[in-house]
């Protein structure tokens, strides 16, 4: 029995199922017998999952980004970015960006200190944050946006989440109508 590890670099650019991971074992014995077997398992790695926006009673829209689902990889150094794809959306910078680190083995949820919006905003329509904690954890980022009255209920208001690790970028889009 042995264990094989998929290289982080092979997983960095995926957001879903990696299929047909080939692994072959060969055995030669008595100089003239050869036996081999190959398996092709699949592996699921979800780097980023962006929820659709949920309208709150106060008129704001709540968004959640999940990073490194299941805590399968070390997320340290992963850059998480969010971009508002609609002119009708704007960030509620009076509310904090909530960041929660989840130990999926124990279910323990630990709040990570929220950065000031001035530290993470790139203009008015995007922000980015780099995960600093070492270890295999899942992360949840929760924040709120305002919807301009002209855009409410007319068309889908897209909101794009991006993760970048080792030069590989993965996107997922949520929307609010």
**pLDDT tens per residue, range 99-131:** 999 999 999 999 999 999 999 999 999 999 999
Mean pLDDT value of segment 132-149: 92
pLDDT at 174: 81
pLDDT band at 94 (very low <50, low <70, confident <90, very high): very high
Q: In whole angstroms, what is the distance from residue 160 CA to residue 147 CA? A: 16
Mean pLDDT value of segment 47-68: 90
Rounded to the nearest integer, the mean pLDDT of the chain is 83
- For residue 121, give the DSSP letter: B
Q: In whole angstroms, what is the distance from residue 173 CA to residue 126 CA? A: 14
Give the Cβ contact number of residue 138 at 10 Å. 20
Does residue 151 carry a pLDDT above 60? no
> Among 150, 164, 177, 16, which Cα is nearest to 87's?
150
pTM over 0.75: yes
DSSP structure string for the chain: -------HHHHTT-SEEEP---EEEEEEETTTEEEEEEE---EEE--EEEPPPEE-TTS-EEEEEEESGGG-S--TT-EEEEEE--TTEEE-TTSPPEEEEE-TTT--EEEEPPPPHHHHBSTTSEEEEE----SS-EEEEEEEEEE-TTTTTTS-EEEEEEEEETTEEEEEEEEE-
pLDDT at 108: 96
């Amino acid at each position: 029995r042995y264990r094989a590890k998929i290289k982080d670099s092979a997983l960095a650019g995926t957001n879903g199922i990696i299929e047909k991971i080939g692994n072959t074992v060969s055995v030669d014995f008595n100089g003239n017998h050869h036996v081999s077997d190959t398996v092709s398992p699949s592996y699921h790695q979800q780097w980023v999952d962006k929820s659709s926006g949920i309208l709150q009673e106060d008129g704001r829209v709540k968004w959640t980004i999940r990073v490194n689902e299941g805590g399968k990889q070390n997320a340290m150094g992963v850059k998480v970015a969010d971009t508002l794809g609609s002119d009708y959306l704007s960030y509620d910078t009076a509310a904090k960006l909530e960041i929660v680190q989840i130990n999926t083995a124990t279910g323990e949820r630990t709040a990570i200190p929220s950065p000031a919006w001035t530290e993470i905003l790139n203009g008015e329509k995007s922000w980015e944050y780099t995960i600093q904690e070492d270890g295999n954890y899942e992360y949840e980022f929760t924040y709120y946006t305002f919807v301009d009255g002209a855009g409410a209920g007319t068309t889908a208001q897209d909101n794009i989440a991006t993760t970048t690790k080792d030069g590989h970028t993965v996107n997922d889009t949520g929307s609010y109508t």
